[in-house]
Structure 1
Amino acid sequence: MKGRRQEGKLYVLQGSTVTGGAAVSSSSMSDSDVTKLWHMRLGHMSERGLMVLSKRGLLCGQNTGSLEFCKHSVFGKQKRVSFTKVVHRTKGTLDYIHSDLWGPAPVPSKGGAKYMLTFIDDYSRKVWTFFLLQKSDVFKTFK
């Protein structure tokens, strides 16, 4: 969608409006089409919920029918699956090392370093921090 800026912060959208026979006319639509339309308008509401609204007269007097399969409803109702908690047991120092590379820094250090490399031993929680001039120095530092 595009808009054209006019005075101040006012934008006018460029496009066309659907009118006449091309607009949705519920009188010429079947019950299943009306149901599908309201299902999408109301954020993929369930068939039972649409029937309740229809019985209460909240859908402008339109009758609803049965819904077809809607993949968007299925995806929308899915919930995120959390990651399983991994338990790793370290038996000694340097068994399991966490590392992180940060950078490039917006302002280099006094020594000209733009990157910071950290290693953390999982067993002892000892931390080593290295300041690097280039990202390519990571492997040399690790060795």
Structure 2
Amino acid sequence: MVEAARAILAEYSWLWQQRLCHASMKTLRKVTQKDLVRGVPKLKFSKDHLCDACQLGKQVHSTFHPIKDISTSRPLEVLHMDLFGPISTAILGGKVYGFVIVDDYSRFTWTRFLSHKNESFEEFKTFSTWIQKKLGCEILTIHSDHGGEFENERFGNFCEDKGISHNFSAPRTPQ
């Protein structure tokens, strides 16, 4: 009889753990001991247990396998671009955003620092002219995320005029 009562209380404590957004058992003990939430009964929450949903949520993704084969045949065939920031400590000149461009063929990386996000178009325009003259070949494709700094009319018109294919990555896929 005592075992059955313990099993029912344990099941009931899991129910409350789920109702309270899968809070940790330590937090649930604190909530019940200090009566922080009305209606939660005084139950025992053991700290060494984890529900299935919490277990899945705490798992980390496995690493991506490195790509050994180069999928492009020349420099500037595909450029990957991203913008990061604002960074907490501004560099010289008060620049707080970083604009990163990576060549898929050589993996060479260029980083430009910007004061504002909206400078990214002009910076890419200047960069594309400079790098195409320097290397003597044209940019065929650029890849970027769906950030507003890349997915706008100015970028679209520029790419269309220069014959550059602009591809966007799928949301929430770091690959």
TM-score scaled by length of structure 2? 0.35
The structure with the larger Rg is: 1
The structure richer in helix per residue is 2
Larger RCO (CA within 8 A; separation ≥ 6): 2
TM-score scaled by length of structure 1? 0.42
